């Protein structure tokens, strides 16, 4: 079962529903932001009480974010990410220090409305030579700091911009088409996220040119430590999405091209497929 936002032919307003084996059961909320103003146990009850609506016809699934929801991301939470940043950076020690530090690296990634969803293009910056997808498990968190569920995230990144100077991180991470999320939220009460395989595949002209795998069990930090730091000195009244960092990073000789197709799959959570475009004019 997943919780989705969708738009149907019969009603142009986005709605929220439970999607179970292809059947949509609408939820009595105005948006995901309202759902995330409830406690997990209330959301679970709402999902259990939802009634299938066979009259919906064709629907389009939307990004799982709306209202004032924000997407944040954690960094250098897997050893592979630490090693890859040390390799690319002119200032290596910041990554070694943050991997071991008590305080995690957290950065703002996207407002709700800029998120792209499964099937839509993701972007690479036109001023960046070295670009990578970052396949990540993301936590969907309600206003009470509780993890409501999980989505697949692609934290698109410019390695050349960040590698030049870590202070360029916001430009390496926040640009048109940089944040992709899968449409369906897999509820926290249905899944154990402690050992899920995360797979990244990049296809060019129909052939796989790169693939890699990790497991969420390789992460160095508990998810609740990441959410505790996110909520420590700020509130998220409409909830937030927090990507937990990548454990899959291609070698430095890998260059993403416009036209490539990126697929991220996380067992039990979902799949995210996005073609790559270059420059902001596509968004
Ligand atoms: O330190 C830069 C960002 C790292 C990141 O996004 C990751 O490890 O996933
Ligand atoms: Mg990342």
DSSP letter assigned to residue 56:
G
Question: pLDDT (tens digit, 9 = 90+) per residue, 229-268?
Answer: 999 999 999 999 999 999 999 999 999 999 999 999 999 9
DSSP letter assigned to residue 8:
E
Instruction: Give CA–CA dist 227/217, Å, rounded.
Output: 17
Atom 6 of ligand 1 has which residue's CA nearest to it?
75
Domains of the chain plus CATH, in order, are 2-62 (no CATH), 70-282 (3.90.850.10)
Substitution candidate for ligand 1 out of 72, 73, 83 with most atoms within 8 A of CB: 73
User: CB under 6 Å to ligand 1: residues?
Assistant: 73, 75-76, 81, 85, 105, 134, 155, 169, 245-246
In the reported structure, the alpha carbon of residue 174 is separated from the centroid of ligand 2 by a whole-number distance in angstroms of 11
- Whether residue 42 has pLDDT greater than 90: yes
Question: pLDDT (tens digit, 9 = 90+) per residue, 244-254?
Answer: 999 999 999 99
Which atom of ligand 1 approaches the CA of 246 most closely? 9
Instruction: Give CA–CA dist 117/156, Å, rounded.
Output: 13
- Average pLDDT of span 28-42: 98
Pairing of strands 240-243, 70-75: parallel
Which atom of ligand 1 approaches the CA of 76 most closely? 8
**Dihedral Cα 124, 125, 126, 128, nearest 10 deg:** -100
Name every residue whose Cβ is closer than 8 Å to that of residue 259 and which is 6 or more positions away in sequence.
204, 205, 275, 276
Ligand nearest to the CA of 155: 2
In the reported structure, the alpha carbon of residue 100 is separated from the centroid of ligand 1 by a whole-number distance in angstroms of 14
Question: pLDDT (tens digit, 9 = 90+) per residue, 68-80?
Answer: 999 999 999 999 9
Atom 1 of ligand 1 has which residue's CA nearest to it?
75
> Nearest-CA neighbor of 150 among 161, 159, 162, 137?
137
Substitution candidate for ligand 1 out of 74, 75, 159 with most atoms within 8 A of CB: 75
In the reported structure, the alpha carbon of residue 224 is separated from the centroid of ligand 1 by a whole-number distance in angstroms of 18
- 44-52 long-range contacts (CB < 8 A, ≥24 apart) are 44/187, 44/189, 47/1, 47/3, 47/18, 47/187, 50/17, 50/18, 50/25, 50/26, 51/25, 51/26, 52/23, 52/24, 52/25
- Which residues are near ligand 2, the ion (C-beta closer than 5 Å)? 134, 155, 246
In the reported structure, the alpha carbon of residue 246 is separated from the centroid of ligand 2 by a whole-number distance in angstroms of 5
Helix (H, G, I), strand (E, B) or coil at 19: strand
> Nearest-CA neighbor of 148 among 52, 231, 66, 47?
47
- Whether residue 28 has pLDDT greater than 90: yes
Question: pLDDT (tens digit, 9 = 90+) per residue, 83-128?
Answer: 998 888 777 689 999 999 999 999 999 999 999 999 999 999 999 9
Separation of first and last alpha carbons in the chain: 31
Question: pLDDT (tens digit, 9 = 90+) per residue, 133-150?
Answer: 999 999 999 999 999 999
Helix (H, G, I), strand (E, B) or coil at 171: helix
Distances (CA, A) of 278 to 4, 69, 128, 217: 29, 26, 10, 34
Helix (H, G, I), strand (E, B) or coil at 31: coil
The enclosing H or E element of 224 equals: helix 223-232
> Nearest-CA neighbor of 186 among 137, 228, 113?
137
In the reported structure, the alpha carbon of residue 82 is separated from the centroid of ligand 1 by a whole-number distance in angstroms of 8
Helix (H, G, I), strand (E, B) or coil at 142: coil
Helix (H, G, I), strand (E, B) or coil at 148: strand
Which atom of ligand 1 approaches the CA of 162 most closely? 2
Ligand nearest to the CA of 161: 1
Atom 3 of ligand 1 has which residue's CA nearest to it?
75
Ligand nearest to the CA of 80: 1
């Amino acid at each position: 079962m997943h919780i989705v936002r969708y738009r149907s032919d019969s009603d142009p307003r986005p709605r929220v529903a439970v999607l179970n084996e292809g059947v949509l059961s609408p939820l009595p909320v105005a948006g995901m932001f309202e759902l995330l103003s409830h406690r997990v146990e209330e959301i679970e009850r709402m999902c259990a009480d939802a009634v299938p609506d066979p009259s919906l016809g064709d629907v389009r699934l939307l990004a799982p974010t709306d209202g004032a929801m924000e997407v944040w991301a954690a960094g250098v939470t897997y050893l592979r990410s630490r090693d890859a940043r040390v390799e690319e950076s002119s200032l290596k020690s910041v990554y070694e220090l943050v991997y071991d530090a008590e305080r995690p690296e957290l950065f703002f990634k996207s407002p709700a409305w800029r998120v792209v969803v499964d099937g839509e293009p993701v972007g690479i910056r036109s001023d960046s030579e070295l670009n990578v997808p970052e396949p990540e498990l993301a936590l969907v968190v309600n206003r009470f700091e509780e993890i409501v569920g999980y989505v697949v995230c692609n934290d698109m990144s410019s390695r050349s911009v960040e590698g030049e100077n870590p202070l360029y991180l916001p430009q390496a991470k926040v640009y048109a088409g940089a944040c992709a999320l899968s449409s369906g939220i897999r509820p926290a009460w249905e899944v154990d996220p402690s050992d899920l395989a995360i797979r990244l595949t990049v296809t060019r002209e129909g052939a796989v040119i790169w693939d890699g795998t990790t497991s969420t069990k390789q992460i160095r930090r508990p998810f609740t430590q990441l959410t505790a730091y996110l909520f420590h000195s700020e509130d998220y009244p409409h909830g937030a999405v927090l990507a937990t960092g990548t454990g899959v990073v291609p070698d430095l000789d890998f260059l993403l091209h416009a036209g490539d197709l990126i697929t991220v799959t996380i067992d039990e959570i979902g799949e995210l497929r996005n073609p790559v475009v270059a420059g902001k004019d596509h968004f």
